[in-house]
Structure 1
Amino acid sequence: MSSNDTDTTHFPSLASFGEPWPEFNDGLTYRDLVRSPDSGLTLIDFYTRKHQTSAPSLGWLQRIENGQITVDGTVVADPHTVLRTGTELVYHRRPWKEPYAPYFLEVLFEDDHLIALNKPSGLQVLPGGLFQQRTVLTQLQWRIRNQELCPAPVHRLGRGTSGILLCAKTKLAKTRLAALFADKTSAVVGNRKIDNEVNKVGKMSKIYRALACGIINEDEIVIDQPIGTVKYPGVAKGLYVASPSGKPALSKVHVLKRDVQNNLSVVQVEIQSGRPHQIRIHLSFIGHPLIGDPLYLTGGKPQLSVSETIDEAFAEDGGYHRPANPVPGDCGYYLHAHQLVLHHPMTNEVVKITAPLPPIFLRHESGE
């Protein structure tokens, strides 16, 4: 560590914030501009072709006839309206009741540039799918209403994952932190101290706790299985899975306790950088998926066979029904982002942040 660095450890405080969610969200608006290749299409043809993953054709017909689409600012309920180049289309998604989500967030560390939160399981980080308002981002925006600040998470945790979520409060901090998270170079820490490794490679170290199925015989395992995507119903951009042709990923697993009675292992998993769902996929790949994981059960692949057929039935708002198969956002598994060590993007201090373990981890680690 250089003479300009300060090793600063931040332990959890009692500070927390959060506002209860309203019963209905504010709905959404989606804008499109008709380009020359689409000139001459009818309104129903445009939406069916351009946004087929949002709703089947009958769903878009329902939305048009409900008056949810405007053409150059005027509601148009005729699906056969012919469109011209330069026309502005706006689809108005009506307010809806979002599924239950917790809203209290504990502040683990905060200064003028960063805020680190202890995210509860069940709370989504950024808007997506059914969760457009009930997110960490919304609570941050409600808490920090100064327009000069732009509080935003700089990485994601799965909705079912709890623990440390690092957020930036300024544009400069966000840019510098994004550069750290974008660096996908992985390194095995070995037996060296984490802060020395962070100082050496100039990155960050992330440590998780997890409850894995079965008894892991080895004390330590290094998993370097690449992670890629496959087509999967309900996941528009593809599902992340263990794939020989995927991108490099590295996880170091250390067994903390073997609970023979409950046939599970309490593990610590360290990653220098992360692919989406990396820990869930890697532990599943070695035959020890997370306890309660509804999606990844064996071999780093989804538990169910992948069907490429599309269900043409639609929900009340015209969109597709929720996928029958499990999807990545489903909860039920036990994964906790426990510790984060990084160089502060503005001060260059080595900052260690720890999120207290949820009760279920404490019970299994103590043998109760």
Structure 2
Amino acid sequence: MIALNKPSGLQVLPGGLFQQRTVLTQLQWRATKQSSSILCHELHLAPVHRLGRGTSGILLCAKTKLAKTRLAAYFADGTSHVGGSSKNSLELSAKRKILKIYRALVSGIVSEDEVIVEQPIGIVQYPGVAKGLYVASPSGKPALSKVEVLERDVEKNCTLVKVEIQSGRPHQIRIHLSFIGHPLVGDPLYVVGGRPQCFDPEFVDDSFAPDGGFMRPAKPVPGDCGYSLHAHQVTLSHPTTNEVIEVTAPLLPILRTRQEAQEMSI
């Protein structure tokens, strides 16, 4: 497998306005460069999960079909355990074969040191997003996030948090943090409540391209950047040896605590 430190702004899979400059196309280019290798026929380079275009950090990619199947099963297994009580879900997380921890900068001061968010996530029709937009929805699929405060900045009215996700719903962290009243700083789409500011359930504009739009949508869409969300750490079992591996992606300066920033400057 390959662990990439994806920069914000790079899309994982082709879609909409982004067809060529994606992680997948760069992996395919890498495969062609290795075409002279005797193992070329075994290569099957592909991402096994997704990060939002504006999200940076660790992205796991498989080199072979076997690795892709097993790594994908790790992610699916974690999501399948969500839906019961949060206590049972958190206990099951200790037995999971993959654990993902993110850093995020959110607006406002989070009062509690730790928050468990269990808001389901569903899909609504939305302009510029052909398959629908993921939002906080009582009728959606179960999702669970564990939010831990790392540092509060009263002067700037923001909070640095660590988020451990027990499920992998699209845009889960952005939705869950905004649902509890603390959207990511700079998020152009999700606001308090876990839905877009411009969302009106009584009126949905259908004047967008069926494929999601090669024309730039007039309203904010999930791929828009501007927020600080970083896949910081991933702990997993190696897909063939079962060895426990921990991967860490360096933190962006804005996502470091004061102490971490001081240690970096020494």
Superposed, which structure 2 residues align to 1:69-88 within 5 Å? none
Q: Secondary structure at the match of 2:256?
A: helix
Pair 1:123 & 2:10 matched:
yes
Hey, what does 1:134 align to over in structure 2? 21
Pick one of 140, 155, 160 that aligns with 2:49. 155
Kept in 2, the 8 Å contact 1:222–1:253? The answer is yes
Percent identity, aligned pairs only, is 69
Kept in 2, the 8 Å contact 1:259–1:367? The answer is no
Hey, what does 2:206 align to over in structure 1? 310
Return the alpha-carbon distance in structure 2 between the equivalents of residues 228 and 124 of structure 1. 22
Return the alpha-carbon distance in structure 1 between the equivalents of residues 205 and 151 of structure 2. 43
AA of the residue aligned to 1:143: R
**Structure 2 gaps, min length 5:** none
Superposed, which structure 2 residues align to 1:26-41 within 5 Å? none
> After superposition, what is the alpha-carbon deviation per residue over 1:172-224, rounded to whole angstroms, capped at 9, x for unaligned?
1001111111221239689x9xxx976x5243111000000000010000000
Q: TM-score, normalised by structure 2?
A: 0.86
Q: Secondary structure at the match of 2:169?
A: coil
Q: 1:232 to 1:225 in 2, by over 3 A?
A: same
Q: Larger radius of gyration, structure 1 or 2?
A: 1
Pair 1:259 & 2:153 matched:
yes
Q: 1:189 to 1:352 in 2, by over 3 A?
A: farther
> After superposition, what is the alpha-carbon deviation per residue over 1:204-258, rounded to whole angstroms, capped at 9, x for unaligned?
1110000000000100000000000111011111100000000000000000000
AA of the residue aligned to 1:132: Q
Superposed, which structure 2 residues align to 1:21-100 within 5 Å? none
Q: 1:367 to 1:118 in 2, by over 3 A?
A: closer
Paired residues, number: 245
Kept in 2, the 8 Å contact 1:206–1:273? The answer is no
Kept in 1, the 8 Å contact 2:86–2:118? The answer is no
Pick one of 135, 159, 176 that aligns with 1:241. 135
How far did 1:165 drift? 0.1
**Structure 1 gaps, min length 5:** 1-113
Q: 1:180 to 1:367 in 2, by over 3 A?
A: closer
Return the alpha-carbon distance in structure 2 between the equivalents of residues 136 and 321 of structure 1. 22
Kept in 2, the 8 Å contact 1:188–1:252? The answer is no
